[in-house]
Amino acid sequence: MYYFENCGRPNDRSKCPLCKNDIGSVKGGSIQLLVRDPPQIQLSIADGFQLIDNYIKQYNETNRYGYYINPMQTENSTASETNEHLQPITYRLLHMFTHTLIMMLYDLKCLQSIRDTPDLKVNYFRKHYLKDYALINNIIGQQNECHIWLYRIFNNLSSFCIDGVLDTNKKVVDFEKHIEQNVVLPHIKSVSDGIQQYKLVYSEFIRESHAQSQLIDYINELVENEKQYPLLNFLTITRSNNDIVNEFRSQFYLLQYEKLYPITDYVLKHLSELEQIGYMYPIINFTNYLLQKYNHRILRTEASTKELDFYIKNDINDKKLFSLFEQFRQAWYGLKLDDVQLDCTHIKIDRTQSMEQFSKSRKLAFFLLNRSTDNSSFEVLGCIHTLAKFQNSIINFCKYITISQILHEDIERKQPAIEIQKIKKEHLLVISSEVIDTILREENGYIINYEYGKTKEVIYDYDEIETRLCNRINRIRLIDTENFNYFNYQFELYHQDVSLFNDIRRNIKQEQISTDEKVKLQQYLRNTKMDDVRQFLGSLDYVFTYFRHATGRPTTSTLKKSVKILIHNTSDLHSYILNEQYPFANIPLKYVINLYELIEELVFDEVMRNYVKQELITDVCVNEEEKENIIGQFVGSTYMLDNISQQLKDPRVWLSVLKRLIIRVITANIDLNVSMQIYIERTDLWNEDLIQYLDLIKINDNILVRHAYVILEGIEAKLKQSNNLNTDNKTNNESINIRDWCQTKTEDINRLTTLTAPEVTTIGNNKKKKLRVD
Contact 370, 489 (CB under 8 A): yes
Residue 234 has pLDDT above 80, yes or no: no
Residue 72 lies in a domain: no
Please report, rounded to a whole number, the percentage of residues in the chain having pLDDT higher than 90.
23
Residue 8 has pLDDT above 90, yes or no: no
Q: Using alpha carbons, select from 573, 753, 595, 765 the residue that is nearest to residue 687.
A: 595
Chain segment 292-322, per-residue pLDDT in tens:
888 878 888 889 999 999 999 988 888 999 9
Tell me, what's the pLDDT at 17?
65
Statement to judge: residues 668 and 582 lie in one domain? no
Residue 270 lies in a domain: yes
Give the global pTM.
0.63
Statement to judge: residues 428 and 552 lie in one domain? no
Statement to judge: residues 349 and 474 lie in one domain? yes
Statement to judge: residues 391 and 352 lie in one domain? yes
Residue 513 lies in a domain: yes
Measured distance CA(557)–CA(563) in Å, rounded: 10
Contacts of residue 772, defined as CB under 8 A and 6 or more positions apart, other chains included, come to none
Residue 435 lies in a domain: yes
Statement to judge: residues 249 and 147 lie in one domain? no
Contact 33, 40 (CB under 8 A): yes
Residue 525 has pLDDT above 80, yes or no: yes
What are residue 24's DSSP bridge partners?
13
Give the domain range for residue 182.
85-159+169-189
Of 720, 744, 769, the residue at which a domain comes to its end is: 720
Statement to judge: residues 283 and 270 lie in one domain? yes
Statement to judge: residues 288 and 224 lie in one domain? no
Statement to judge: residues 182 and 42 lie in one domain? no
CA atoms within 13 A on the CB side of 591: 21
Residue 365 lies in a domain: yes
Tell me, what's the pLDDT at 755?
39
Q: Using alpha carbons, select from 507, 471, 453 the residue that is nearest to residue 238.
A: 453
Chain segment 722-773, per-residue pLDDT in tens:
877 665 555 555 445 544 544 444 444 344 333 333 343 333 444 433 333 3
Total tally of structural domains belonging to the chain = 6
- Lowest-confidence segment of 79-88, 473-482, 491-500 by average pLDDT: 491-500
Of 234, 264, 291, the residue at which a domain comes to its end is: 234
Pairing between β-strand 458-460 and β-strand 446-448 as defined by DSSP bridges = antiparallel
Statement to judge: residues 404 and 513 lie in one domain? no
Of 570, 592, 610, the residue at which a domain comes to its end is: 610
User: Which has more confidence, 670 or 650?
Assistant: 650
Pairing between β-strand 479-480 and β-strand 418-419 as defined by DSSP bridges = parallel
Statement to judge: residues 96 and 29 lie in one domain? no
Helix (H, G, I), strand (E, B) or coil at 675: strand
Tell me, what's the pLDDT at 733?
54
Residue 725 lies in a domain: no
Measured distance CA(294)–CA(652) in Å, rounded: 35
Tell me, what's the pLDDT at 104?
82
Residue 485 lies in a domain: yes
Residue 750 lies in a domain: no
Contact 107, 122 (CB under 8 A): yes
Contact 263, 466 (CB under 8 A): yes
Using alpha carbons only, give the angle 505, 497, 514 rounded to the nearest 5 degrees.
25
Contacts of residue 442, defined as CB under 8 A and 6 or more positions apart, other chains included, come to none
Q: Using alpha carbons, select from 587, 626, 643, 770 the residue that is nearest to residue 711.
A: 626
Q: Provide DSSP, 350-418.
A: ---S-STTHHHHSBGGGTS---SS--TTHHHHHHHHHHHHHHHHHHHHHHHHHS-HHHHHHHHHHSPPE
Tell me, what's the pLDDT at 335?
93
Tell me, what's the pLDDT at 421?
93
Statement to judge: residues 433 and 558 lie in one domain? no
Chain segment 383-428, per-residue pLDDT in tens:
999 999 999 999 999 888 876 444 444 444 456 889 999 999 999 9
Statement to judge: residues 307 and 414 lie in one domain? yes
Residue 628 has pLDDT above 60, yes or no: yes
Contact 576, 536 (CB under 8 A): yes
